[in-house]
Structure 1
Amino acid sequence: MINLTKIVAAILVLLALALGGYAWMLSRQAPAAPPPAAAASGNSPAKAAQVKTFPVVVATKPLPAGLAIPADALRVEQLTINPAGAFQETAPLAGRVPVIDLGEGSPLLEGQLVSGLALRVAEGERAVAVKADEVMGVGNKVQPGDFVDVFLMLKSDSKDIDRSQARLLLSRKRVLAFGSASVDGLPSKTDKNAGAQQQRAEAARTAVLAIPVEDVNRLTLAENSGRLLLALRNPTDMSEPDPKLFAELPTALQPLAPKPGEPRRPPLEGLDRAQAGVTTADFVTGGKPDSIRTATVVPRTSAPRAEGQRGGGLKVEVIRGDRSETINY
């Protein structure tokens, strides 16, 4: 009986040792479970990699359309979106002009800002288009960015051909566009797929010039009264006529006279001069009241008509310009 008990005890000891060894082997093969803190920290980089941000310039306050954007109205924010045409820096946007109202926090896009030929017009100038052809455009050799002199040819009818005139109208004016090519490097909307060389080879129908606003009236009257001619000049040639050698043309609208005690007002300039305008007669004659006179009838009493003489005894002198003609009535 004692021997049987010893045998069972030995078996149990051996079984316990076997189970202990097996458990030790299992513990060597299974990876240790990470602590909860380590597991949480391991998931953070994965989440950060999934949420990507982009630097985008946004408005810090409302930006009205048509007004220049101040530098302090912009900031760069990290957004989860990167819209097409967005900006990553604020420097290129200072001074640009939006074409629509932009709210606070709105991303600024290239399509929302004024672009094209308007940005090439200097302050106090206007872009004006005039009709062009091969002769007027120096054989189509005029290119955007050139400087030209604008000459005017005023041709009278066959009876008064001696009163035709040609003169320099505007000097050293910049060409913004000629035909479908322009200084902004963009083709016209109708020729987007055409190359620059092909555009210049086509016959131009218009020329766009940068004109001081007070001279737009003169250019408009000149185009409608006669024929314009562009004379190409070297851009380094800075010579221009002296305006002090010629009297200013009178304006179509007369400014109000100063009130008693008020100082004398300076001559009209810029937009004020443009609004005052100029008449065709003053433009053609240079403002001389006697250069072009309407037909004037001056009755003259003559001696009594002799018997059998044709016509009445009244003679009328008709004056046309510097010519006079006497007609018997």
Structure 2
Amino acid sequence: MINLTKIIAAVLVLLALALGGYAWLLSRQPPPPVVAAPSAAAAGKTVQAQTFRVVVAAKPLPAGRAIPPDALRVERLTINPAGAFQETAPLAGRVPVIDLGEGTPLIEGQLVSGLALRVAEGERAVAIKADEVMGVGHKVRPGDFVDVFLMLKSDGKDVDHSQARLLLSRKRVLAYGGVSIDGMASGMDKNGSAQQQQQQQASRAEAARTAVLAVPVDDVNRLTIAEYSGRLVLALRNPTDMSEPDPKLFAELPTALQPAPPKAGEARRPPLEGLDRAQAGVMAVDFVTGGKPVNLRVPAAAATGAAAPTANAPARTGGSRGGLQVEVIRGDRSETINY
């Protein structure tokens, strides 16, 4: 019994020595490398390292000038700004609203947008007053084509001398009330209800106070003076109807500003057109009469002894129109009537 106890004690002592030696060997080995978990900052750097295709200016782009195709290039950037472009084709011909330096990413908000892009070259967008009668019962919509008629009333009592005529033919409506051609949806709205969208547009049109038309620049003077002098009426027409009046059948209105005479040896200048004719303007009297010569009352300071004709003293004129004329004076107003 005593020998068995000694044997067990010896085995335990040897086991203890073996475990101690193993522990000593483990303590001599270098510790394994600690693999740290990726932090949030490191993850953010990984996302920022991703690149995106972005169109940038290849050279300085001045504001108000169309962008040429060779002034753009595509670069891969670590940022993707909101409203940036990935291709250069949609940007050719667009106009920046601010000066852009070389290498600047092009963003939609930096470019001209809205109704101005719907105006063709040589045209101007002009707003006129609108109401239910003038706007065809508020049935006019952006994109429609209309004829603009003018009603002129010379005096509240002289109904016989009032006139109505076609002023502008086949003009495109850019906006009517709160609905504009550049903001109209092409199909269903975000809720999938096309009927609801049409009802909303109709309600906005019912409160219309203005209509915006695309008008050639040399006709803007006629439109503005007509709105000031009389009442305009829009006549809705079928967009496939291309008929327009022949301008050669009517005399051209004289301009308010006369062009300078050509210099010696200079060829005769062509008739005024576009911006030149718009700057020359038109006078209200010529606009009303169509540019025909009208015999006006001779001022007293310029009279040479001949009394001005009155309502009781008709006089025959020697003008190109001929016939008899009577000048009717009402207070500070005078009117020459042919008969």
Same fold (TM over 0.5): yes
CA distance in 2, matches of 1:49, 1:273: 60
Aligned counterparts of 1:163 and 1:47: Cα–Cα separation in 2? 82
| Counterparts of 1:50 and 1:236, CA distance in 2 | 55
TM-aligned CA deviation for residue 50 of structure 1: 6.3
RMSD of the TM alignment (CA)?
A: 3.5
> Which string of whole-angstrom CA distances, capped at 9 and with x for unpartnered residues, describes residues 117-172 of structure 1?
00000000000000000000000000000000000000121342211000000000
Distance 1:300 1:277, change over 3 A: closer
Task: Show the counterpart of 2:199.
Answer: 197
- Are 1:274 and 2:239 matched, yes or no? no
1:47: how far off?
A: 8.2
Q: Which residue of 2 aligns with 1:124?
A: 122
Q: CA deviation at 1:316?
A: 7.8
What amino acid does structure 2 have at the position aligned with 1:199?
Q
1:289 paired with 2:278, answer no
Q: 1:49 to 1:183 in 2, by over 3 A?
A: closer
Segment drifting more, 201-210 vs 232-241: 201-210
Q: Deviations over 1:164-211 (max 9, x none)?
A: 000000000000000000110269xxxxxx955323323210000000
Per-residue Cα deviation, 1:213-234 (whole angstroms, up to 9, x for no partner): 0000000000000000000000
> Secondary structure of the residue that 1:111 maps to in structure 2?
helix
Of 233, 236, 244, which residue of structure 1 is paired with 2:237? 233
Q: Which of 261-270 and 199-208 deviates more?
A: 199-208
TM-score, scaled to structure 2? 0.72
Alignment gaps of 5+ in structure 2: 1-17, 27-31, 34-43, 186-195, 316-323, 330-339
Instruction: Give the Cα–Cα distance (whole angstroms) in 1 for the partners of residues 154 and 147 of structure 2.
Output: 23
Given that 1:179 and 1:200 are in contact with CA atoms closer than 8 Å, whether structure 2 keeps it comes out as no
Identity %: 75
- What is aligned with 1:209? 213
What's the counterpart of residue 312 of structure 1?
Answer: none
TM-score, normalized by length of structure 1? 0.74
Verify the 8 A CA contact 1:60 1:104 in the aligned structure 2. Answer: yes
Indicate the residue corresponding to 1:109 in structure 2: 107
Work out which of the residue numbers 243, 268, 271 in structure 1 matches 2:247.
Answer: 243
C-alpha displacement of 1:260: 2.0
Corresponding residue of 2:4? none
Task: Give the distance between the partners of 1:251 and 1:50, measured in 2 at CA.
Answer: 65
The answer for unaligned runs of 5 or more in structure 1 is 1-17, 27-31, 34-45, 188-193, 302-314
Q: Deviations over 1:261-312 (max 9, x none)?
A: 211110000000000000000000001112x6347789779xxxxxxxxxxx
Point out the structure with max Rg over C-alpha.
1
Q: Are the structure 2 counterparts of residues 108 and 274 from structure 1 closer, same or farther at C-alpha, using a change threshold of 3 Å?
A: same
Rounded Cα–Cα distance in structure 2 between residues aligned with 1:134 and 1:325? 37
Q: Work out the CA distance in 2 between the residues paired with 1:47 and 1:275.
A: 61
Q: Return structure 1 stretches of 4+ with deviation > 6 angstroms.
A: 46-50, 295-301
- Conserved? CA contact 2:176–2:212, under 8 Å: yes
Indicate the larger mover: 70-79 or 211-220.
70-79
Alpha carbons 2:52, 2:77 under 8 Å: kept = yes
Residue of structure 2 in register with 1:219 after alignment = 223
CA contact (8 A) 1:116 1:186 kept: no
> Could you tell me how far apart the structure 2 residues matched to 1:165 and 1:47 are?
76
Letter in 1 for 2:129: K
Alignment of 1:99-178 (within 5 A): 99-178=97-176
**Where does 1:39-118 land on structure 2 (aligned, <5 Å)?**
51-118=49-116
Please give the alpha-carbon distance, in whole angstroms, between the structure 2 residues aligned to 1:50 and 1:212. 51
Counterpart of 1:249 in structure 2: which amino acid?
Answer: L
**In 2: Cα distance, 1:279 partner to 1:63 partner:** 42
How many residue pairs get aligned? The number is 275
